[in-house]
Amino acid sequence: MDLMQLLSWACIVFTVGMFSTGLTDLKKMRETKSADNIQFLPFLFTCLNNLGWLYYGLLKKDQTIVFVNVIGALLQILYIIAYLHYTTQKRLVTSQTVAAGTVLACGWFYFTTFLPEGDSQLSQLGLTCSVITVSMYLSPLTDLVAIVRSRDVQRLSFPLSVATFFTSTSWVLYGLQLHDQYIWVPNTPGIFTSLIRFYLFWRFAAVNQSSPAYRSM
């Protein structure tokens, strides 16, 4: 097995593992028959991100990107359907889902109609997907600031932080091997945010001795 095959398998295993963390929320919804205290938008944005990267992988003819994002999109759709079933805010969640679907359809229409096939189409799609991925990696920074102020890491998931670190690292290395900046650049922030989380676990894990140091998945 050469280096590219090894990195490909690492991307598949770690990324599918990260996407599978939502199964914990799915189990909780089934057990409680409720979607309370579970955020819906991360499922929706991750699904959009998966579908964008799936299209990028198809254009690039990269089986690793295609396979990972097919699995990711299917899992996110499963989580979305379950959330729609158990939530009491069905009108709000449905409107958010329809809005996301509309954005996705408009994006697909733009990329397939107004952009010529080839490098231009691939570059603009890669840039769009990269911006979405970076924003998803940086979105927890507000929570990290709150954790620093409260000195309490119980709201963080340590296993998810580990999964994010290895997923980001594997995609950065994969992108560097392919010389594809649209793969390695947007995944770099995931490494740094994971390292920040590890530091917070180390720094504040023993602040509250009467409760668990971190939230399990």
The domain of 135 spans: 3-202
Does residue 26 belong to any structural domain of this protein?
Answer: yes
pLDDT above 90: residue 206: no
- The band of 122, judged by pLDDT with boundaries at 50, 70 and 90, is very high
Does residue 141 belong to any structural domain of this protein?
Answer: yes
DSSP-assigned letters across all residues of 37-104: T--SHHHHHHHHHHHHHHHHHHHHT-HHHHHHHHHHHHHHHHHHHHHHHH-S-HHHHHHHHHHHHHHH
Does residue 50 belong to any structural domain of this protein?
Answer: yes
Does residue 84 belong to any structural domain of this protein?
Answer: yes
What is the C-alpha to C-alpha distance for residues 214 and 133, in angstroms, rounded to an integer?
A: 26
Does residue 211 belong to any structural domain of this protein?
Answer: no
What's the average model confidence in pLDDT over 159-186?
94
pLDDT per position as a tens digit, 127-148: 999 999 998 888 777 777 777 8
Does residue 115 belong to any structural domain of this protein?
Answer: yes
Q: 55: alpha, beta or left, given left = phi > 0 and alpha = psi -120 to 50?
A: alpha
Measured from the Cβ of residue 206, the count of other Cβ atoms closer than 10 Å reads 8
What's the average model confidence in pLDDT over 116-137?
92
What is the C-alpha to C-alpha distance for residues 46 and 82, in angstroms, rounded to an integer?
A: 15
Paired tokens of 216:
């399990």
Does residue 207 belong to any structural domain of this protein?
Answer: no
Domain count for the chain: 1
Q: 207: alpha, beta or left, given left = phi > 0 and alpha = psi -120 to 50?
A: alpha
Does residue 215 belong to any structural domain of this protein?
Answer: no
| Mean of the per-residue pLDDT values of the chain | 89
pTM of the model: 0.87
